[in-house]
Structure 1
Amino acid sequence: MLFLYTVLMVCCGVLLAAGVVEQRRHFINLERIPTRVLVNGIRGKSSITRLCAGALRGGDLVTVAKTTGTAARFIHPDATEEPVYRKFGIANVVEQIGIVRRAASYSPDALVIECMAVMPALQEINQSKLIRSTIGVLCNVREDHLAEMGPTLDDVARSLSRSMPHGGICVTAEQDRFHILQEEADARDCELIYADPETVSDEELRGFSWFTFKENVAIALTVAGLLGVERETALKGMYDAPPDPGVLSVERYATPDGKRLRFANVFAANDPESTLMNINQLLDLDAISRPLNVVINCRPDRVERNGQMGAIIPDLQPDKVFVIGHPAKSAIDAIPAEWRDRAVDLGGDRRAADDFMGQLLGQLGPDSSLVAIGNIHGQGEVLLEHLAELPADETPVDVPAGPAARTQAASPADAQAPAASARPAVRDDETLALQQYKPYIDPYQPYPEAYEARYQQHQQPPVPYEPQAQQPALYQSAPPEPVRQRRFGDGDGDASGNPAPTAPPSAPAQPAPRPPQRGMFEPARPVTEAQQQNPGEPR
């Protein structure tokens, strides 16, 4: 018995010593990377990671990046990338140790890495032990992973704040819960900087050949500004950066019976607020148009999310709602009663793809749009694969002098009124760039071959960027007064669904002075007086 105890103690001692050695080596690798940017939030983390890396590369900084979203990628300093190998295909935060070791081998100026932890405790460990970021990014607070970080959005904000660097800098574009983030930042002696989306002009956004948001660009520009990269240089680097494989895109198909279909893959935005924002912006750009149809893909392990997708159907005002996957009842029951007659249950996850695809395409109009929401896994992947096998719609697109306003269907009869002959010929250069976009694809991308081959047909070069005569401030210390949007599950608002008015996020009258010695946290370019002003103060 004494022998067994001795063996046990020796083994424990060996494991302890090995753990100490591994931790010390990991910290040495971290010290070889002077700037470490950890990107956290609910939506857009992968896109922001790529934009930040592109902006820093544009400033001639040796930058390594790693994403975790639709397809985990390790991005080398020359912007080439490769998939992250995972044993048994299971993601684990421990893989960050190997990523840091590989990144340190380049002796880079910066590492931009996406947070892959969901549990609040793991988010804190990811920051304090694995990455130890010098600049944190907390892009937004949305309704997702409420079981782990909720149940309320305030709880989600506080959970995400665990990734803020102690004594460092955190950049955010969140407005509604900025005051909560400010409280958490103050508790960590962290400087919280608001990246104002309004500082990004439409002309600058038009330089991208894929679909992105001003919030993401504003965050990347702020991070680049902290490291001394000029705005024009950072934008050029972002334009050249390869987008994420899950980037929002619109495809034009011709069905076997001669119908014309515009399809938008909105699976990546799998919370209600992001889904509505993506679809409304596509409608505003006329990348899709009415009559509009929605397909909801259900998963048995995402029953709450299935219901959230069904609850936003009145805001989308579609002609038809096709429900695939299992359990379809979780989404159909969440659709309000007055809209439930438009729902079409295409069967569970065991139904043959040819069967439900034939029924789906058969119920579409001669010229319509289809958006896919929910979660991509399961029947959603089957849907993408079969749509990609359809021939492309090569009909020329008429481009008017300017963008057209989005049309709303006032009633079910109005929603079904437009026919093929009455199709509005409204497109703009942003829409053309979106439709003819060719994303960065490598042979390891986990999409069906037919889906990948669709992007090989056309490519629209990005519109050259022309800098404006006067650029706005890169970042500000507090957001402007927020315009409240309806948040599902918040519990605030009146009986008609109108949100209750809220006060703007509180911000100190004067920003706290920077410490005299900031080391690696000190921006390479001094912050101007205009950048330190609050949005409400006269400039």
Structure 2
Amino acid sequence: MLFLYCVLLVCCLVMLIAGILEQRRHFANLDHIPHRVLVNGIRGKSSITRLCAGALRGGGLTTVAKTTGTAARFIHPDATEEPVYRKFGIANVVEQIGIVRRAAAYRPHALVMECMAVMPALQEINQSKLIQSTIGVLCNVREDHVAEMGPTLDDIARSLSRSMPHDGICVTAEKERFDVLQEEADARNCRLVYADPDTVSDEELRGFSWFTFKENVAIALTVAELLGVDRETALQGMYDAPPDPGVLSVERYLAPGGKRLRFANVFAANDPESTLMNINQLLDLGAVDRPLNVVINCRPDRVERNGQMGSIIPELRPDRVFVIGHPARSAIDAIPAEWRDRAVDLGGDHRDGEEFVHELLGHLDASSSLVAIGNIHGQGEVLLEHLAELPADETDEADGPAAAAPAAPDPYAGAPYENDPYENDPYENDPYENDAYENAPHQDAAYADAGYEGGGGYENAGYESAPYQNAAPQAGDPYAAGPYADPYAQVPYPAGLYQDGSHPDGPSPQGAVGIEAATPVPAWPQPQPQVRPFPGQGHQHRQNPGEPR
């Protein structure tokens, strides 16, 4: 027995020594990477990771990235990528050690990592032991993973904050829980920087060949500024970056019987708020249209989420709701009674894929749209596989009686201007092209108190709630009486865009208001960046962003 104890003791000592040596090697690898960006949040982490990496690559920085979402990828400095190998297909935060080792071999300027931990304790370990980020990103706080992070949004915000770097910088686009994040940042001596989505124009958003959100772009631009990459260069780098496999996409298919189908894969947005935001954006842009059909994929280990997807059906107002996977009743029972007769149960998770897809397509009209929500795993993957086998619809949607509100090839290329005479280029013949205010649009005192400080209501890429929609027309405005007045013509830059009140196009009329500009990490490179403020007023170290100085 004494011999066994000795063997056990020796083995423990060997493991302890090996662990210490591995930790020292890991920390040495981290030291070879000057800037480390850790992306955390509930939705959009993979897309933000790719956008940040693309922006930094565009600025000439050698950048390595790693995503974890729909398909984990290791992204090399030349933007090529490969799947992350996992033993037995099981994800584990320890794999970050190997990623850092591979990244350090490139001697990069920056490493952008997506946080793969859900448990709050693991999120803290991921930051303090595995990545030790110099810049943290906390993209948003949404209702998800409540069993691990807490039942309320404040609890989730505090859990996510455990990935904030101590004595570092954290960038966020979260507005509703900013106060909670500020408290957590102050406790870690972390400088919290707000990335304002309103600073991203619709014109800049149209440069992407895939769907993304202003919040994601604003975060990536802020990170790029912190590392000395100018806005135009960063945007071009993001345009060139390959999208994530789980990115929001719309495909057009020809279904049996000559039916024309526009299909939107919204599986990646698997919480109610993100799902609604994605679908509303697609509707606003004309990428999908009505009649709208919804398919909910259910999973036995996500019963609560199945019910959440069913509960938002009245807000989507679909013609039909197809339920696949198991247990289907968890989603159908959550649909309000007045909408439940539109639900079609296509069977459990053991039903043949070809059979339930054929039945689903049989319920559709001659021309319709279908959005898939819930979770991709299980029958969702089967659905995507069978739809991908359908022939692509490459015909002009303007032909034939089945055509309905065609979407432009580029989903951002002017969908809101359905009957606009300037549809192909809404600014081509703009009578204000040589306007005297072109280079100083806000110097006229008449506009100083015009109420535009909020930056407009285009945050979700829709126009129906835009605060300028019913604004009194300006004298002499040739578009004043027209229903398609240029929605961007009178939207000025938000007040206090830069701390000193400066702006490339002239001074801001509201003066210098906002969160103090964050100092870039001194190790790389100059010049010092300019950081966008929290909307409204207040110092970045205040406890309440809405509290006046």
Residues 424-433 or 146-155, more deviating: 424-433
* Cα distance per residue 1:239-289 (max 9 Å; x no partner): 111110111111111111111111101001000000000000000001000
Alpha-carbon distance in structure 1 between the residues aligned to 2:20 and 2:97: 14
1:427 to 388, 407, 414: 407
The residue type equivalent to 2:80 in the other structure is T
Residues 485-496 of structure 1: matches in 2 within 5 Å? none
Paired residues of 1:287 and 1:434 also in contact (CA < 8 A): no
Say whether residues 1:115 and 2:115 are aligned partners.
yes
* Cα distance per residue 1:285-321 (max 9 Å; x no partner): 0100000000000000000000000000000000000
Q: 1:152 to 1:470 in 2, by over 3 A?
A: farther
- Structure 1 residue 395: Cα displacement: 1.8
Residue 524 of structure 1 corresponds to: 526
The residue type equivalent to 2:207 in the other structure is G
Residue 171 of structure 2 corresponds to: 171
Q: 1:172 to 1:514 in 2, by over 3 A?
A: closer
Say whether residues 1:348 and 2:348 are aligned partners.
yes
Paired residues of 2:193 and 2:518 also in contact (CA < 8 A): no
Residue 278 of structure 1 corresponds to: 278
Residue 205 of structure 1 corresponds to: 205
Residue 255 of structure 1 corresponds to: 255
Paired residues of 1:226 and 1:525 also in contact (CA < 8 A): no
**Aligned with 2:411: secondary structure?**
helix
Alpha-carbon distance in structure 2 between the residues aligned to 1:358 and 1:131: 47
Alpha-carbon distance in structure 2 between the residues aligned to 1:28 and 1:470: 51
Paired residues of 1:211 and 1:434 also in contact (CA < 8 A): no
* Cα distance per residue 1:466-495 (max 9 Å; x no partner): xx97999xxxxxx97999x9xxxxxxxxxx
Alpha-carbon distance in structure 1 between the residues aligned to 2:223 and 2:5: 54
**Aligned with 1:253: secondary structure?**
strand
- Structure 1 residue 523: Cα displacement: 7.0
Residue 395 of structure 2 corresponds to: 395
Paired residues of 1:26 and 1:101 also in contact (CA < 8 A): yes
- Structure 1 residue 352: Cα displacement: 1.3
The residue type equivalent to 2:410 in the other structure is E
Paired residues of 2:199 and 2:218 also in contact (CA < 8 A): yes
Alpha-carbon distance in structure 1 between the residues aligned to 2:96 and 2:394: 44
Residue 406 of structure 1 corresponds to: none
Residues 37-48 of structure 1: matches in 2 within 5 Å? 37-48=37-48
Paired residues of 1:285 and 1:428 also in contact (CA < 8 A): no
Unaligned residue ranges in structure 1 (runs of 5+): 400-419, 436-467, 473-478, 486-508
Q: 1:360 to 1:299 in 2, by over 3 A?
A: same
Unaligned residue ranges in structure 2 (runs of 5+): 416-437, 443-452, 460-512, 539-547
Residue 2 of structure 2 corresponds to: 2
Number of positions where the alignment pairs a residue of Structure 1 with one of Structure 2: 455
**Aligned with 1:430: secondary structure?**
coil
Alpha-carbon distance in structure 1 between the residues aligned to 2:283 and 2:303: 28
Higher helix share: 1
Q: 1:289 to 1:93 in 2, by over 3 A?
A: same
Paired residues of 1:267 and 1:376 also in contact (CA < 8 A): yes
User: What is the TM-score when the length of structure 1 is the normalising length?
Assistant: 0.80
* Cα distance per residue 1:2-61 (max 9 Å; x no partner): 222221111111111110000010000000000000000010000000000000000100
- Structure 1 residue 432: Cα displacement: 7.4
Residue 332 of structure 2 corresponds to: 332
**Aligned with 1:237: secondary structure?**
helix
Say whether residues 1:535 and 2:536 are aligned partners.
yes
Say whether residues 1:361 and 2:361 are aligned partners.
yes
User: What is the TM-score when the length of structure 2 is the normalising length?
Assistant: 0.78
Residues 13-32 of structure 1: matches in 2 within 5 Å? 13-32=13-32
Paired residues of 1:65 and 1:112 also in contact (CA < 8 A): yes
**Aligned with 1:421: secondary structure?**
coil
Residues 232-271 of structure 1: matches in 2 within 5 Å? 232-271=232-271
* Cα distance per residue 1:152-183 (max 9 Å; x no partner): 11111000000000000000000110100000
- Structure 1 residue 519: Cα displacement: 4.0
Q: 1:222 to 1:523 in 2, by over 3 A?
A: farther
Paired residues of 1:123 and 1:163 also in contact (CA < 8 A): yes
Alpha-carbon distance in structure 2 between the residues aligned to 1:305 and 1:523: 44
Paired residues of 1:226 and 1:524 also in contact (CA < 8 A): no
Residue 100 of structure 1 corresponds to: 100
Alpha-carbon distance in structure 2 between the residues aligned to 1:261 and 1:314: 22
- Structure 1 residue 351: Cα displacement: 1.0
Residue 132 of structure 1 corresponds to: 132
Paired residues of 1:142 and 1:271 also in contact (CA < 8 A): yes
Q: Which has the higher contact order (CA 8 A, sep 6+)?
A: 1
Paired residues of 2:170 and 2:190 also in contact (CA < 8 A): yes
Runs of 4+ residues deviating >6 angstroms:
432-435, 468-472, 479-483, 512-515
* Cα distance per residue 1:375-414 (max 9 Å; x no partner): 1111111111111111111221349xxxxxxxxxxxxxxx
Paired residues of 1:322 and 1:346 also in contact (CA < 8 A): yes
